[in-house]
Protein backbone atom coordinates (compact mmCIF):
# COMPACT_ATOMS: atom_id res chain seq x y z
CA UNK A 1 0.00 0.00 0.00
CA UNK A 2 2.83 2.40 0.90
CA UNK A 3 4.55 1.54 -2.37
CA UNK A 4 1.35 2.25 -4.31
CA UNK A 5 0.97 5.63 -2.60
CA UNK A 6 4.57 6.58 -3.43
CA UNK A 7 4.27 5.60 -7.09
CA UNK A 8 0.70 6.82 -7.81
CA UNK A 9 0.40 10.21 -9.51
CA UNK A 10 -0.89 13.00 -7.29
CA UNK A 11 -4.00 13.47 -9.44
CA UNK A 12 -5.00 9.82 -8.89
CA UNK A 13 -4.49 10.19 -5.15
CA UNK A 14 -6.54 13.38 -5.14
CA UNK A 15 -9.36 11.67 -7.05
CA UNK A 16 -9.32 8.70 -4.67
CA UNK A 17 -9.45 11.04 -1.67
CA UNK A 18 -12.36 12.98 -3.19
CA UNK A 19 -14.33 9.79 -3.92
CA UNK A 20 -13.74 8.45 -0.40
CA UNK A 21 -14.67 11.80 1.13
CA UNK A 22 -17.85 12.02 -0.95
CA UNK A 23 -18.82 8.45 0.01
CA UNK A 24 -18.36 9.28 3.70
CA UNK A 25 -20.43 12.46 3.40
CA UNK A 26 -23.27 10.58 1.67
CA UNK A 27 -23.02 7.73 4.18
CA UNK A 28 -23.30 9.97 7.23
CA UNK A 29 -25.65 12.53 5.71
CA UNK A 30 -27.81 10.92 2.98
CA UNK A 31 -29.37 13.29 0.44
CA UNK A 32 -32.81 14.63 1.33
CA UNK A 33 -35.77 13.50 -0.71
CA UNK A 34 -38.93 15.30 -1.79
CA UNK A 35 -40.75 13.35 0.91
CA UNK A 36 -38.33 14.59 3.57
CA UNK A 37 -39.13 18.13 2.46
CA UNK A 38 -42.85 17.34 2.60
CA UNK A 39 -42.45 16.04 6.14
CA UNK A 40 -40.71 19.29 7.10
CA UNK A 41 -43.60 21.30 5.62
CA UNK A 42 -46.17 19.31 7.62
CA UNK A 43 -44.26 19.59 10.90
CA UNK A 44 -43.55 23.29 10.40
CA UNK A 45 -47.23 24.01 9.72
CA UNK A 46 -48.15 22.18 12.95
CA UNK A 47 -45.29 23.49 15.07
CA UNK A 48 -47.50 25.53 17.41
CA UNK A 49 -49.77 22.50 17.96
CA UNK A 50 -47.37 19.55 18.10
CA UNK A 51 -44.16 21.07 19.49
CA UNK A 52 -43.40 22.54 22.93
CA UNK A 53 -43.60 26.34 22.95
CA UNK A 54 -40.25 26.71 24.73
CA UNK A 55 -37.42 24.83 26.39
CA UNK A 56 -38.98 25.42 29.81
CA UNK A 57 -42.49 24.32 28.82
CA UNK A 58 -42.26 20.70 27.70
CA UNK A 59 -46.01 20.11 27.32
CA UNK A 60 -47.32 20.72 23.81
CA UNK A 61 -50.52 22.56 22.93
CA UNK A 62 -51.80 19.26 21.53
CA UNK A 63 -51.36 17.55 24.91
CA UNK A 64 -52.94 20.40 26.86
CA UNK A 65 -55.94 20.65 24.52
CA UNK A 66 -56.34 16.87 24.46
CA UNK A 67 -56.40 16.71 28.27
CA UNK A 68 -58.90 19.59 28.45
CA UNK A 69 -61.16 17.90 25.91
CA UNK A 70 -60.95 14.56 27.71
CA UNK A 71 -61.72 16.04 31.14
CA UNK A 72 -64.43 18.47 29.99
CA UNK A 73 -66.02 16.08 27.49
CA UNK A 74 -68.18 18.76 25.92
CA UNK A 75 -68.28 20.99 22.82
CA UNK A 76 -66.67 23.93 24.65
CA UNK A 77 -63.80 21.94 26.12
CA UNK A 78 -63.02 20.19 22.83
CA UNK A 79 -63.50 23.12 20.44
CA UNK A 80 -59.83 24.20 20.24
CA UNK A 81 -58.54 20.62 20.12
CA UNK A 82 -60.83 19.75 17.22
CA UNK A 83 -59.97 23.03 15.48
CA UNK A 84 -56.28 22.17 15.57
CA UNK A 85 -56.96 18.58 14.49
CA UNK A 86 -58.78 19.94 11.43
CA UNK A 87 -55.72 22.02 10.58
CA UNK A 88 -53.48 18.96 11.02
CA UNK A 89 -55.78 16.92 8.78
CA UNK A 90 -55.67 19.68 6.14
CA UNK A 91 -51.87 19.45 6.03
CA UNK A 92 -51.77 15.65 6.02
CA UNK A 93 -54.37 15.37 3.25
CA UNK A 94 -52.11 17.48 1.00
CA UNK A 95 -49.26 14.96 1.32
CA UNK A 96 -48.72 13.21 -2.05
CA UNK A 97 -49.46 9.48 -2.12
CA UNK A 98 -45.80 8.80 -2.89
CA UNK A 99 -44.82 10.34 0.47
CA UNK A 100 -47.50 8.69 2.61
CA UNK A 101 -45.06 6.10 3.98
CA UNK A 102 -42.50 8.75 5.02
CA UNK A 103 -45.04 10.98 6.74
CA UNK A 104 -46.91 8.05 8.29
CA UNK A 105 -43.65 6.74 9.80
CA UNK A 106 -43.34 9.89 11.90
CA UNK A 107 -44.18 8.81 15.48
CA UNK A 108 -45.64 12.19 16.41
CA UNK A 109 -48.11 12.14 13.53
CA UNK A 110 -48.99 8.48 14.12
CA UNK A 111 -49.56 9.07 17.82
CA UNK A 112 -51.95 11.99 17.33
CA UNK A 113 -53.95 10.35 14.55
CA UNK A 114 -54.68 7.25 16.62
CA UNK A 115 -54.99 9.08 19.94
CA UNK A 116 -57.55 11.49 18.47
CA UNK A 117 -59.64 8.74 16.87
CA UNK A 118 -59.63 6.89 20.21
CA UNK A 119 -60.77 9.97 22.12
CA UNK A 120 -63.57 10.75 19.67
CA UNK A 121 -64.73 7.13 19.83
CA UNK A 122 -64.78 7.30 23.65
CA UNK A 123 -66.70 10.59 23.60
CA UNK A 124 -69.30 9.18 21.22
CA UNK A 125 -69.63 6.00 23.30
CA UNK A 126 -70.12 7.75 26.65
CA UNK A 127 -69.28 6.72 30.18
CA UNK A 128 -71.23 3.47 30.17
CA UNK A 129 -72.33 2.52 26.67
CA UNK A 130 -73.84 4.15 23.67
CA UNK A 131 -77.45 4.21 22.66
CA UNK A 132 -78.82 1.88 20.04
CA UNK A 133 -80.13 4.67 17.87
CA UNK A 134 -78.03 6.67 15.46
CA UNK A 135 -79.16 9.94 17.05
CA UNK A 136 -77.41 8.92 20.28
CA UNK A 137 -74.52 7.04 18.74
CA UNK A 138 -72.41 10.17 18.41
CA UNK A 139 -73.26 11.62 21.84
CA UNK A 140 -72.71 15.40 21.64
CA UNK A 141 -70.47 15.25 18.55
CA UNK A 142 -72.09 17.23 15.74
CA UNK A 143 -71.88 16.70 11.97
CA UNK A 144 -68.62 18.65 11.61
CA UNK A 145 -67.04 16.65 14.45
CA UNK A 146 -68.12 13.41 12.81
CA UNK A 147 -66.62 14.63 9.52
CA UNK A 148 -63.33 15.22 11.37
CA UNK A 149 -63.52 11.68 12.76
CA UNK A 150 -63.98 10.36 9.21
CA UNK A 151 -61.04 12.40 7.92
CA UNK A 152 -58.74 11.07 10.65
CA UNK A 153 -59.96 7.55 9.96
CA UNK A 154 -59.20 7.95 6.24
CA UNK A 155 -55.72 9.27 7.05
CA UNK A 156 -55.07 6.29 9.33
CA UNK A 157 -56.02 3.87 6.55
CA UNK A 158 -53.97 5.81 3.99
CA UNK A 159 -50.80 5.97 6.09
CA UNK A 160 -50.92 2.62 7.91
CA UNK A 161 -53.12 0.37 5.77
CA UNK A 162 -56.53 -1.21 6.19
CA UNK A 163 -55.27 -4.19 8.19
CA UNK A 164 -53.44 -2.03 10.75
CA UNK A 165 -56.48 0.22 11.09
CA UNK A 166 -58.83 -2.71 11.64
CA UNK A 167 -56.56 -4.12 14.36
CA UNK A 168 -56.48 -0.69 16.01
CA UNK A 169 -60.27 -0.36 15.72
CA UNK A 170 -60.89 -3.73 17.36
CA UNK A 171 -58.56 -2.80 20.20
CA UNK A 172 -60.45 0.47 20.79
CA UNK A 173 -63.83 -1.29 20.63
CA UNK A 174 -62.74 -3.83 23.23
CA UNK A 175 -61.52 -1.10 25.61
CA UNK A 176 -64.81 0.86 25.73
CA UNK A 177 -66.77 0.87 29.02
CA UNK A 178 -69.15 -2.09 29.20
CA UNK A 179 -67.83 -3.57 25.95
CA UNK A 180 -66.67 -6.71 27.76
CA UNK A 181 -70.33 -7.61 28.38
CA UNK A 182 -71.32 -7.24 24.71
CA UNK A 183 -70.95 -9.32 21.61
CA UNK A 184 -68.78 -8.05 18.76
CA UNK A 185 -71.92 -7.18 16.80
CA UNK A 186 -73.37 -5.15 19.69
CA UNK A 187 -70.14 -3.22 20.20
CA UNK A 188 -69.92 -2.50 16.50
CA UNK A 189 -73.51 -1.36 16.05
CA UNK A 190 -73.37 0.95 19.08
CA UNK A 191 -70.03 2.57 18.23
CA UNK A 192 -69.25 5.53 16.00
CA UNK A 193 -67.16 3.18 13.85
CA UNK A 194 -70.34 1.69 12.39
CA UNK A 195 -71.55 5.07 11.09
CA UNK A 196 -70.92 5.47 7.39
CA UNK A 197 -68.52 8.19 6.35
CA UNK A 198 -69.91 8.14 2.82
CA UNK A 199 -72.70 10.64 3.48
Give the mean model confidence (pLDDT) for residues 68-73.
94
Residue 97, domain member (yes or no): yes
Give the mean model confidence (pLDDT) for residues 36-56.
86
Q: How many CB atoms lie within 10 A of CB 46?
A: 22
Residue 173, domain member (yes or no): yes
Residue 27, domain member (yes or no): yes
Distance CA 79, CA 51 (A): 19
Domain assignment of residue 118, given as a range: 34-194
In this structure, are 137 and 78 located in the same domain?
yes
Angle, vertex CA 178, rays to CA 176 and CA 184, nearest 5? 75
In this structure, are 27 and 38 located in the same domain?
no
Distance CA 191, CA 199 (A): 17
In this structure, are 9 and 81 located in the same domain?
no
In this structure, are 94 and 170 located in the same domain?
yes
In this structure, are 63 and 15 located in the same domain?
no
DSSP state of 32: P
In this structure, are 11 and 38 located in the same domain?
no
The pLDDT, as a whole number, for residue 136 is: 61
Distance CA 51, CA 44 (A): 9
Report helix angle 162-175 to 143-160, nearest 10: 130
In this structure, are 25 and 91 located in the same domain?
no
In this structure, are 95 and 184 located in the same domain?
yes
* CA 111 to chain CA mean position, Å: 5
16-44 pLDDT tens trace = 556 565 555 545 556 778 888 888 889 89
Residue 199, domain member (yes or no): no
Distance CA 85, CA 91 (A): 10
Are 197 and 153 contacting, i.e. CB atoms less than 8 angstroms apart? yes
In this structure, are 70 and 20 located in the same domain?
no
Residue 91, domain member (yes or no): yes
Please, which residues bridge with residue 52 across strands? 60
DSSP state of 59: S
- Residue 134 reports pLDDT greater than 60: no
Percent helix, percent strand, percent coil in the chain, to nearest 5: 75, 0, 25
Give the mean model confidence (pLDDT) for residues 50-56.
78
Beta strands per DSSP E along 143-191? none
Mean pLDDT for all residues in the chain? 85
| Residue 77 backbone class (left: φ over 0; alpha: ψ -120 to 50; beta: rest) | alpha
Q: Looking at the 3D structure of the chain, how many domains does it have? A: 2
Residue 132, domain member (yes or no): yes
Residue 129: which of 181, 70, 71 has the closest Cα?
181
143-182 pLDDT tens trace = 999 999 999 999 999 999 999 999 999 999 999 999 989 9
Residue 110, domain member (yes or no): yes
In this structure, are 6 and 67 located in the same domain?
no
Residue 68, domain member (yes or no): yes
| pTM, two decimal places | 0.81
In this structure, are 45 and 99 located in the same domain?
yes
Helix (H, G, I), strand (E, B) or coil at 159: helix
In this structure, are 27 and 39 located in the same domain?
no
Amino acid sequence: MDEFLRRAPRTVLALVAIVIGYALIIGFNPPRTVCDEQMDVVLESQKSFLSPSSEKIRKTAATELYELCKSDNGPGGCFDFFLNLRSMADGLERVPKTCAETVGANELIQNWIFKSITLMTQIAWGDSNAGVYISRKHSWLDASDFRLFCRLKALAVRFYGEDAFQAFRESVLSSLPGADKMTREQKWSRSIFSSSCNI
